[in-house]
Amino acid sequence: MTSHLYLMRHGQTLFNALERIQGWSDSPLTELGIEQAQMAADYFKAQGLTFDSYYSSTSERASDTLEIVAGVTSYTRLKGLKEMNFGNFEGQQEYLHPPRQVRRAVGNYYVVHGGESDEEVARRVHTTITHILEENDGKTILAVSHAGAIMHFLNSIGVDVESMGFFPSNCCIFDLSFEKGAFTLHGMIDPVKGEIFEYLGDLT
Protein backbone atom coordinates (compact mmCIF):
# COMPACT_ATOMS: atom_id res chain seq x y z
CA MET A 1 0.00 0.00 0.00
CA THR A 2 1.03 3.61 -0.48
CA SER A 3 2.00 5.62 2.59
CA HIS A 4 1.99 9.40 2.62
CA LEU A 5 4.47 11.61 4.45
CA TYR A 6 4.29 15.32 5.09
CA LEU A 7 7.82 16.21 6.16
CA MET A 8 8.25 19.72 7.48
CA ARG A 9 10.80 22.03 9.00
CA HIS A 10 10.27 23.62 12.42
CA GLY A 11 9.25 27.25 12.92
CA GLN A 12 11.69 30.12 13.39
CA THR A 13 13.83 29.88 16.53
CA LEU A 14 15.87 32.30 18.59
CA PHE A 15 19.08 31.00 16.97
CA ASN A 16 17.52 31.43 13.50
CA ALA A 17 16.75 35.06 14.35
CA LEU A 18 20.25 35.60 15.74
CA GLU A 19 21.80 33.83 12.71
CA ARG A 20 23.54 31.24 14.84
CA ILE A 21 24.42 27.70 13.78
CA GLN A 22 21.86 25.31 15.20
CA GLY A 23 22.33 21.60 14.75
CA TRP A 24 22.21 19.35 17.79
CA SER A 25 22.11 22.47 19.95
CA ASP A 26 18.65 23.90 20.49
CA SER A 27 16.77 27.14 21.08
CA PRO A 28 13.09 27.97 21.55
CA LEU A 29 10.60 29.08 18.94
CA THR A 30 10.21 32.83 18.57
CA GLU A 31 6.80 34.49 18.46
CA LEU A 32 7.16 34.48 14.68
CA GLY A 33 8.00 30.77 14.78
CA ILE A 34 4.83 30.08 16.73
CA GLU A 35 2.83 32.09 14.17
CA GLN A 36 4.45 30.13 11.32
CA ALA A 37 3.50 26.83 12.94
CA GLN A 38 -0.08 28.05 13.27
CA MET A 39 -0.07 28.95 9.56
CA ALA A 40 0.98 25.38 8.79
CA ALA A 41 -1.84 24.12 11.01
CA ASP A 42 -4.28 26.36 9.13
CA TYR A 43 -3.02 25.01 5.79
CA PHE A 44 -3.59 21.39 6.78
CA LYS A 45 -7.03 22.25 8.15
CA ALA A 46 -7.98 24.09 4.95
CA GLN A 47 -6.89 21.07 2.90
CA GLY A 48 -8.85 18.70 5.10
CA LEU A 49 -5.68 16.72 5.86
CA THR A 50 -5.62 14.43 8.87
CA PHE A 51 -2.83 12.19 10.10
CA ASP A 52 -2.62 8.69 11.50
CA SER A 53 0.72 9.16 13.29
CA TYR A 54 3.04 11.98 14.30
CA TYR A 55 6.83 12.14 14.63
CA SER A 56 9.40 14.79 15.46
CA SER A 57 13.09 15.02 16.14
CA THR A 58 14.08 15.09 19.79
CA SER A 59 14.92 18.79 19.54
CA GLU A 60 12.49 21.07 21.37
CA ARG A 61 12.05 23.37 18.37
CA ALA A 62 10.70 20.46 16.32
CA SER A 63 8.45 18.96 19.00
CA ASP A 64 7.00 22.37 19.90
CA THR A 65 6.26 22.99 16.22
CA LEU A 66 4.53 19.63 15.89
CA GLU A 67 2.36 20.25 18.96
CA ILE A 68 1.18 23.57 17.54
CA VAL A 69 0.61 22.25 14.02
CA ALA A 70 -1.15 19.03 15.01
CA GLY A 71 -2.69 20.03 18.34
CA VAL A 72 -1.44 16.81 19.92
CA THR A 73 0.84 15.90 22.80
CA SER A 74 1.03 12.18 22.02
CA TYR A 75 3.63 11.51 19.32
CA THR A 76 6.99 9.83 18.80
CA ARG A 77 10.27 11.70 19.12
CA LEU A 78 13.23 10.20 17.25
CA LYS A 79 16.90 11.11 17.35
CA GLY A 80 17.16 9.96 13.74
CA LEU A 81 15.22 13.06 12.64
CA LYS A 82 17.63 15.49 14.34
CA GLU A 83 19.55 18.15 12.47
CA MET A 84 23.13 17.62 11.36
CA ASN A 85 25.71 17.73 14.15
CA PHE A 86 28.02 20.66 13.33
CA GLY A 87 30.52 19.85 16.08
CA ASN A 88 32.55 22.83 17.28
CA PHE A 89 30.53 25.13 15.03
CA GLU A 90 27.41 24.64 17.17
CA GLY A 91 26.08 27.94 18.50
CA GLN A 92 28.54 30.02 16.46
CA GLN A 93 27.56 32.74 14.00
CA GLU A 94 26.32 31.41 10.66
CA TYR A 95 28.92 33.35 8.70
CA LEU A 96 31.52 30.92 10.06
CA HIS A 97 30.04 28.17 7.86
CA PRO A 98 32.32 27.63 4.84
CA PRO A 99 30.70 28.29 1.43
CA ARG A 100 28.16 25.60 0.52
CA GLN A 101 30.11 24.51 -2.55
CA VAL A 102 33.17 23.88 -0.37
CA ARG A 103 31.17 21.92 2.21
CA ARG A 104 29.48 19.84 -0.48
CA ALA A 105 32.76 19.14 -2.28
CA VAL A 106 34.48 17.98 0.91
CA GLY A 107 31.47 16.09 2.31
CA ASN A 108 33.05 15.51 5.71
CA TYR A 109 33.97 19.09 6.60
CA TYR A 110 32.36 18.95 10.04
CA VAL A 111 33.78 15.54 10.97
CA VAL A 112 37.21 16.98 11.74
CA HIS A 113 35.43 19.48 14.00
CA GLY A 114 33.57 16.80 15.95
CA GLY A 115 30.42 16.72 13.83
CA GLU A 116 28.81 14.50 11.19
CA SER A 117 29.52 13.98 7.52
CA ASP A 118 26.92 14.59 4.81
CA GLU A 119 26.76 10.84 4.20
CA GLU A 120 26.16 10.05 7.87
CA VAL A 121 23.28 12.52 8.09
CA ALA A 122 21.70 11.30 4.85
CA ARG A 123 21.94 7.66 5.94
CA ARG A 124 20.59 8.38 9.43
CA VAL A 125 17.57 10.34 8.26
CA HIS A 126 16.83 8.06 5.30
CA THR A 127 16.91 4.98 7.55
CA THR A 128 14.68 6.64 10.13
CA ILE A 129 12.06 7.85 7.65
CA THR A 130 12.01 4.53 5.80
CA HIS A 131 11.42 2.72 9.10
CA ILE A 132 8.59 5.12 9.99
CA LEU A 133 6.80 4.51 6.70
CA GLU A 134 7.32 0.75 6.75
CA GLU A 135 5.71 0.71 10.20
CA ASN A 136 2.81 2.83 8.94
CA ASP A 137 1.95 1.07 5.69
CA GLY A 138 -0.94 2.78 3.94
CA LYS A 139 -1.15 5.57 6.49
CA THR A 140 -0.61 9.34 6.42
CA ILE A 141 2.21 10.67 8.57
CA LEU A 142 3.31 14.11 9.75
CA ALA A 143 6.96 14.47 10.76
CA VAL A 144 8.84 17.60 11.85
CA SER A 145 12.58 17.79 11.27
CA HIS A 146 15.19 20.36 10.22
CA ALA A 147 16.38 22.10 7.05
CA GLY A 148 19.75 20.38 6.73
CA ALA A 149 18.42 16.96 7.71
CA ILE A 150 15.59 17.27 5.18
CA MET A 151 17.91 18.38 2.39
CA HIS A 152 20.27 15.46 3.03
CA PHE A 153 17.31 13.07 3.02
CA LEU A 154 16.03 14.49 -0.26
CA ASN A 155 19.50 14.12 -1.78
CA SER A 156 19.46 10.47 -0.69
CA ILE A 157 16.30 9.84 -2.75
CA GLY A 158 17.63 11.69 -5.79
CA VAL A 159 16.26 15.19 -5.25
CA ASP A 160 18.77 18.04 -5.11
CA VAL A 161 16.60 20.98 -4.06
CA GLU A 162 19.69 23.11 -3.55
CA SER A 163 20.54 22.95 -7.25
CA MET A 164 16.97 24.04 -7.92
CA GLY A 165 17.60 27.17 -5.87
CA PHE A 166 15.13 25.99 -3.24
CA PHE A 167 15.89 26.12 0.50
CA PRO A 168 13.42 24.83 3.11
CA SER A 169 12.13 27.94 4.86
CA ASN A 170 10.69 27.71 8.36
CA CYS A 171 7.62 25.42 8.39
CA CYS A 172 8.11 24.48 4.73
CA ILE A 173 6.35 21.17 3.99
CA PHE A 174 7.43 18.39 1.62
CA ASP A 175 4.66 16.18 0.25
CA LEU A 176 5.95 12.63 -0.31
CA SER A 177 4.60 9.14 -0.87
CA PHE A 178 6.24 5.77 -0.27
CA GLU A 179 5.41 2.48 -1.96
CA LYS A 180 7.39 -0.74 -2.40
CA GLY A 181 10.49 0.85 -0.90
CA ALA A 182 10.50 3.85 -3.24
CA PHE A 183 9.87 7.51 -2.46
CA THR A 184 8.06 10.01 -4.67
CA LEU A 185 8.22 13.74 -4.04
CA HIS A 186 5.04 15.47 -5.19
CA GLY A 187 5.75 19.03 -4.17
CA MET A 188 6.89 21.63 -1.66
CA ILE A 189 4.50 23.83 0.28
CA ASP A 190 5.31 27.14 1.95
CA PRO A 191 2.30 27.82 4.21
CA VAL A 192 3.78 31.13 5.39
CA LYS A 193 3.96 32.64 1.89
CA GLY A 194 1.01 30.62 0.66
CA GLU A 195 3.04 29.09 -2.18
CA ILE A 196 2.91 25.55 -3.56
CA PHE A 197 5.65 24.15 -5.82
CA GLU A 198 4.83 21.03 -7.80
CA TYR A 199 7.81 18.72 -8.26
CA LEU A 200 8.07 17.30 -11.75
CA GLY A 201 11.50 15.72 -11.51
CA ASP A 202 12.53 12.11 -11.90
CA LEU A 203 13.67 10.26 -8.78
CA THR A 204 15.22 7.37 -10.69
pLDDT digits (tens, 9 = 90+) for 67-81: 999 999 999 999 999
Q: Collapsing DSSP states into helix, strand and coil, what is residue 102?
A: helix
Tell me, yes or no, if 31 is annotated catalytic. no
Handedness of CA 201, 173, 125, 2 (dihedral sign): negative
Low-confidence ranges of the chain (pLDDT < 50): 202-204
pLDDT at 201: 63
- The active-site residue, picked from 4, 35, 83, 120, is 83
To 10 degrees, what angle do helices 60-70 and 31-47 make? Answer: 40
Counting residues of the chain whose pLDDT is more than 70, the rounded percentage is 98
Neighbours of 195 (CB within 10 A): 11
Q: What is the CATH number of domain 3-198?
A: 3.40.50.1240
To 10 degrees, what angle do helices 118-135 and 147-156 make? Answer: 80
pLDDT at 91: 96
pTM: 0.94
| pLDDT, tens only, 158-202 | 998 777 777 899 999 999 999 999 999 999 999 999 998 888 664
Task: Tell me the domain boundaries of the chain.
Answer: 3-198
Tell me, yes or no, if 4 is annotated catalytic. no
